[in-house]
Structure 1
Amino acid sequence: MKPSGPLFTLLAGLLLGIFMLSLNATTGPRATSSSNDVTATPTPTPAAPSASTAPPTSPSPTAALPADSDYAGRTADDSASVAVSVRDGKAIGYFCDGRSRESWLKGDVKDDGSMALSGTDGARLDGVLRAGRIDGTVKVGDRTRQFTAAPAVKPSGLYRATAEVRGAKIVGGWIVLQNGRQVGILNRDGKPAAAPRIDPASGAVTVDGTRLTARPVVP
């Protein structure tokens, strides 16, 4: 007996479905690439700067020398006084024993604070300005003495007076030390002698009955 038409059609569809299922299970889905896939590129880590590429270190600035300053002190043997006035790289020095020997000296102050001042008859002052004072030697005549001069704030410092009194040429030099002590020489026509005291506040001094004014010395 032959199967009817609908039954045959159902059986054929069932066989086709079984065949398709078997085919899918065998082959499996094909992998596809997506246009949205992005390949990540690693970001390089910046290298630490080497010692050779590090910026150079700027040298520390050199302390500037004081443009305007005055110094006064005693020689190491305490036999004389020394004063130095400094202005803009120039210096004037004065050596005085307060009795009969003196010398005025002048010269330049170098950037490192050293100075070599010269005076008449071979007088010489060599010093170095550092740490707020001048240390050095002064040669007057046949003797060389060591000295130290500390900052001199007015009224201490170096003073000078020049005038003509009763027909005589007067030249006076004074060093006023920090403790108020005065050391000076007064020349009358080139003859030295101990100088009278000055008034440090005004510079007033009386010489042979004539009132003079001793003024601070600057280069």
Structure 2
Amino acid sequence: MARTKRPGPLLTLLAGLLLGLFMLSLNATTGTKSAASSQEESPGPTTAAPSPTPTKATTPPAPSTSAPADADYAGRTDDDSAAVAVSVRDGKAIAYFCDGRDQESWLKGGVKDDGTMKLTGKHGAKLNGTLEEGRRIGGTVDLGGQRYGFTADKTVKPSGLYRATATVRGAMLDGGWIVLPGGEQVGILDRDGKPSAAPRIDPETGAVTIDGQTLTAWPVTP
């Protein structure tokens, strides 16, 4: 009976070496994959972007919508040939242009919130003015084909604008007066459509004597 030969020690050693190399390669591959997986699953810390600093919105101031304050104004034309008075109440105005001899005009209209005014009167008369800081009115009056520049300062009583109307001895009377700061008066009395210089009034009471009869001139407001 033949004897079976056992593998020699050399073959056994070679087989063991191959198995060891295989195991080492397998461990290296597994470790690399695990490290890669760990890096993918655990990302590094991230730095949050700084929050933008909120900016405070600047709101522009709302334009003034209040009407000009009630007041009276009086002054002379730039050429000193006539006087102009303006009374402002509740956004409306009435004005009187008078040269104290034979030329006059009553004008009226509205006053805008910015202080500008365009007043109109008979026979195409016009007054264009601007209220300046609530202290004066500057502008022009167009009358009889001429233009007059003027400045009327804010007044306190008894300065201001006055008017009286009445029938005396059958004549229709219509008088207008401008009492300027300092007491000067400029006025016209119209008798049945005929203008002439008006007599002085008492600015404290408005009393005036016309043709022997005492009348009262009252402050004029719109």
TM-score by length of 1: 0.75
- Structure 2 gap segments, 5+ residues each: 1-46
**Aligned pair 1:197/2:200, yes or no?**
yes
- Structure 2 counterpart of 1:214: 217
**Alpha-carbon deviation of 1:57?**
2.0
- Structure 1 counterpart of 2:74: 72
Helix, strand or coil at the partner of 1:93: strand
- Structure 1 gap segments, 5+ residues each: 1-41
Q: Tell me the number of residue pairs that the alignment of Structure 1 and Structure 2 aligns.
A: 175
Contact 2:161–2:177 under 8 Å retained in 1: yes
Helix, strand or coil at the partner of 2:123: helix
**Alpha-carbon deviation of 1:152?**
1.3
- Structure 2 counterpart of 1:32: none
**What amino acid is aligned across from residue 157 of structure 1 in structure 2?**
G
Which of the pair is proportionally richer in helix?
A: 2
Give the distance between the partners of 2:48 and 2:208, measured in 1 at CA.
87
**Alpha-carbon deviation of 1:64?**
3.9
Q: Residue deviations 1:89-145, cap 9 Å, x none?
A: 110000000001000000010111111100001111000112221110001101101
**Aligned pair 1:159/2:162, yes or no?**
yes
Give the distance between the partners of 1:124 and 1:63, measured in 2 at CA.
26
Q: Residue deviations 1:139-196, cap 9 Å, x none?
A: 1101101000000111000000000000000000000001100000000101000000
Q: After the TM superposition, which of the residue ranges 128-137 and 60-69 deviates more from structure 2?
A: 60-69
- Structure 1 counterpart of 2:106: 104
- Structure 2 counterpart of 1:57: 59
TM-score by length of 2: 0.74
Give the distance between the partners of 2:52 and 2:127, measured in 1 at CA.
59
What percentage of aligned pairs have identical amino acids?
65
- Structure 1 counterpart of 2:181: 178
